[in-house]
Structure 1
């Protein structure tokens, strides 16, 4: 089925942004990868145009979540166990969860690559972030186990 996954933004090499469907994510020794599907137009029976979905794996630097998107049902696999590194050092990112009626905003700390588009933080910055109210570590990437 075309477009049945969670919705994300794909950032093309020229900076253009496309909406896509996220079907699966996996953590490798090189970082997080996302299997996305982009709907394009192709030629169908009788030469008529029809939508076709092209699916590929992309690195975390090319995929961003849509605000308010639900990624809880996206299949997630870990194909390696080493902690993620940036510039030869272990790194983390933070994700700001917006305030909604009845739910205060919050901050999640991730191992780098768990959430697309995060800016790397070093250990000191990560520990400072965790001292802030309503800041917790991500259970999905098990960020707590990567901290000293």
Structure 2
């Protein structure tokens, strides 16, 4: 067995749909809502433009642990690992769900502006329709929108807007 280069990504075993196993390299692991995704690099045979068979390294994301297993004795501590941040506590778990939008009149100049509040915030406009999470996030990302810090709408929504990094699978 060849000596592993300590600077290269550690080995991992890929489990193919038909049950065969193959050694690959573990490039990254990211926690997702329902488990883990592992980015692997696996070398396969491929026919090039001249019809010659050559080894090619493919990189892809796979579900873990369904499609990978560790190699005994290998340390994976140095692999890039991203966890989903723990949910922030709601300032008042008994507060009504959702958010409401307070529109700020700018007399038609510039983009629409507003503030998102919890429905029971003292600054929230009375009778405003309650927005669900997706609607609130859509509003929060618009230019000129702010999140109320009095009712902690900012504490609840800001991490969801800025706290999750996009998984880049083009590497």
TM-score when normalising by structure 2: 0.42
Structure-1-length-normalised TM-score: 0.48
Compare CA radii of gyration and give the structure with the larger one: 2
